[in-house]
A and B are shown apart, each in its own frame.
Chain A
Amino acid sequence: MAEKSILDLCGLQGLIDALQGRGYAVLGPTVRDGAIVISEISTLDDLPRGVADEQDAGHYRLRERGDEALFGYAAPVQSAKPVFFPADEMLWRGRRGPEGGFTVEPAQPQPSPVALLGLRSCDLAALSVHDTVLTSRGLVDARYAARRADTFIVAVTCADPAGTCFCASMGTGPRPLAGYDIALTELLETEHRFLAEAGSPVGEDLLAELPPRAVTSDDTAAADDVVRTATARMGRVLRTDDMPEMLYAQARSPHWDEVAERCLACTNCTMVCPTCFCTTVEDVSDLSGDVDERHRVWDSCFSQEYSQLHTNFVRASTGARYRQWVTHKLAAWIDQFGTSGCVGCGRCITWCPAAIDITAEVDALRAASQQTAGGQHAQHH
């Protein structure tokens, strides 16, 4: 039994090797074009050693940390969403047959099992949100389910959150809570090492294959310290205790239109959000018109066609679309799925070209709601 263990750098490489040995494609963070992205990795050299990120509204930049940390940055550009839920995938291919007929060949992806290394707690929480949305209700996204089956997750405690992070407010981090096979906390002081904790029998199994090294009370204290410091350094805060009612009550607020004056409806926020799941379907025909592929592609509630009815659009104004996005994320999601649709990763803030900040806009809406509530209160006396 190896519920907890200490891995040194060699041990971490051993973990990657063991995963590959078990047939997993190992995906982890790596630096590409000045950003951290999730990609296939095979050695520790692929990881962003000594790299940190600066994130703020409309701002993303990598910098040198001046240490050897492998996980010393916050949310990568994309979460693991595209791994299981690709931006474009074929659903089926139709072939025209004789006499106006056609045949349907479902696309059957045969994904090899994936191991995710270094998954942030926010993205881990997002994965569980996606599992609920896409597989826990009446009808199941069969391709997502197939890709998700047999996933192995090595999550990591966020030690150095960015200015846009607020997972602590959302209860999703910085320490991985559930749903991982192994969770790592990177410890840099005195010796570069990782506190590894198994979260599943398979995780335990795998840890048992690695050279054993006992966990001391110093190690656990150091890990707790990492969590404490990270929580204290969270760049942003979001209050959620009055959801969903607060946002429902603000449906007519003029503030939505005020945001719309800045919002470009570019869809960036929904594309980088790890929980957004909206899609549309497109037909791709070959030149002869005899073969027709149905593709499911990511869509966004910020696009006009999203709500099309004939030549009209239910949400014609950008304000209505921004309201849909925020109200769905933070309020309706709770009614629909029993959790918030936001995990506090901060990506929508970082990648907004207009630097619109969901935490600030919600604060502004709440302030407006309290003013109206206060006004009504005054009238009664």
Chain B
Amino acid sequence: MTAATTQQPPVSRDPMVPRPFRVVASHLDTDDTVTLSLEPMGSDPLVFAPGQFTMLHAFGVGEVPISICGDPTRPDPLMHTIRDVGNVTHALVSAEVGAVVGVRGPYGTGWRPGDGVGGDLLMVAGGIGLAPLRPALLEVASRRDEYDRVVLLYGARSPADILFEDDLRRWADECRIEVAVTVDYAPPEWDGRVGPVTTLVGRAGFDPPRTLALVCGPEIMMTLTANALLGRGVAPHRMRLSMERNMKCGAGLCGHCQLREFFLCVDGPVLPYSQLAPLLDVREL
């Protein structure tokens, strides 16, 4: 019996049911940030594009969106760098090796660094925002010759909060990526830069009209960076930002992540600044 009603919606796999993954490694990056390596239990590795995220579920606690931070060409184990800021993230960073977490995804749009091939690629990261950019950096490092200048500007709160120091060194020393790190506050023994990451934009070595800029960090950091990039002459549609909003599904179904016409979990999180600028200017949109 089939009733020909409005439409026959397709019956398919439920996007709200997670797959179990086992924690195979847990690395303490800083005093509040942990990188978890996860292996699927009886299912395929989760193939992803740089910039995409998953919904990570901690048993009995809840579920949150977390970007994938590993190498897109080696999705097994699946890596997430998580900062302990509340209930669910606390449960996740506390997960011990052997524990099981639920994974849904991958979701959202990616950075698509390849759109910058043939020109300069600039990445600007603030705080935990380096984690979502890491897959793009790994991809670019493996195809370094396809780009002209590749620049990473990274701002952290203090020297103790700097993530992925080994990567930063390797990218700079072996991959011809110009890496500039700055911190907002430092003890006197810090021999690097002090000042917000936005101050690095002014003199960084990239050619604005030929640059694709990928920006990730707190919203205020991203809008200030976009302003600084505008000042240097990078076109708004050549800047991409990764947006954070409350997300309950990741699948375009729960409504929470809406920013006017965008479902940031599906249309984003990565969107061109040309589309975001008019929306970010309006308070509480």
Contact = CB atoms under 8 A, between A and B. Distances in A.
A–B: direct contact at CB < 8 Å: yes
B12 A251 contact: no
Nearest to A146: B11
Nearest to A151: B5
Given A178-B6, A301-B255, A150 B60 contact: no
B7 A136 contact: yes
Nearest to A248: B260
Interface string A165-198: 0000000000000111100000000000000000
A181 B5 CA distance: 6
Interface string B1-24: 111111111111111111110110
A319 B282 CA distance: 13
A92 B1 contact: no
A134 B283 contact: no
Contacts of B284: 314-317, 319-320
B86 interface: yes
Interface in A279-307: 279-281, 283, 285, 289, 292, 294, 296, 299, 301, 306-307
A23 B102 CA distance: 38
Instruction: Indicate the size class of the contact surface on chain A.
Output: 35 or more
Interface stretch (B93-101, B114-122, B176-184): B93-101
Interface string B235-272: 00000000011101101111110101101001000000
B230 interface: no
Interface stretch (A40-48, A328-336, A354-362): A328-336
A133 B249 CA distance: 14
A142 B15 contact: yes
A307 B256 CA distance: 7
Dominant secondary structure of chain A at its interface with chain B? mixed
Given A138-B266, A281-B63, A100 B96 contact: yes
B9 A135 contact: yes
B285 A336 contact: no
Listed residue (B18, B59, B62, B246) with the most chain A CB atoms within 10 angstroms of its CB: B59
Which of A139, A279, A280, A324 counts the most chain B CB atoms within 10 A?
A139
A119 B10 CA distance: 23
Contacts of B253: 133-134, 139, 141, 277, 279
Contacts of A180: 5
Interface string A146-161: 1011111100000000
A135 B284 CA distance: 29
Contacts of B10: 135, 140, 145
Interface string A235-254: 00000000010001001100
Contact of A278 (B4, B255, B261): B255
Q: Which residue among B6, B10, B14, B98 has the maximum number of chain A CB atoms within 10 Å of its CB? A: B6
Contact of B244 (A201, A202, A309): A309
A201 B256 contact: no
A347 B252 CA distance: 25
Given A137-B266, A314-B246, A320-B285, A149 B9 contact: yes
A356 B86 CA distance: 37
B61 interface: yes
A187 B15 CA distance: 46
A202 B254 contact: no
A179 B17 contact: no
A125 to B, nearest CB: 9
A81 interface: no
Contact of B20 (A103, A113, A319): A103
A102 B100 contact: yes
Contacts of A178: 6
Nearest to A332: B261
B5 A91 contact: no
B260 A138 contact: no
A96 interface: yes
Contacts of B19: 104
Nearest to B245: A314
A280 B248 contact: yes
Contact of B246 (A127, A141, A152, A307): A307
A128 B6 contact: yes
10 closest Cβ pairs, A-B complex: A135-B9, A278-B255, A100-B99, A320-B284, A179-B6, A200-B4, A335-B261, A139-B251, A142-B14, A145-B9
27 contacts: A91-B14, A101-B100, A102-B102, A127-B6, A131-B7, A134-B253, A135-B7, A135-B9, A136-B7, A136-B9, A140-B12, A142-B13, A145-B9, A148-B5, A152-B5, A244-B261, A251-B282, A277-B253, A279-B248, A279-B254, A281-B248, A296-B16, A299-B248, A306-B256, A307-B246, A314-B284, A323-B285
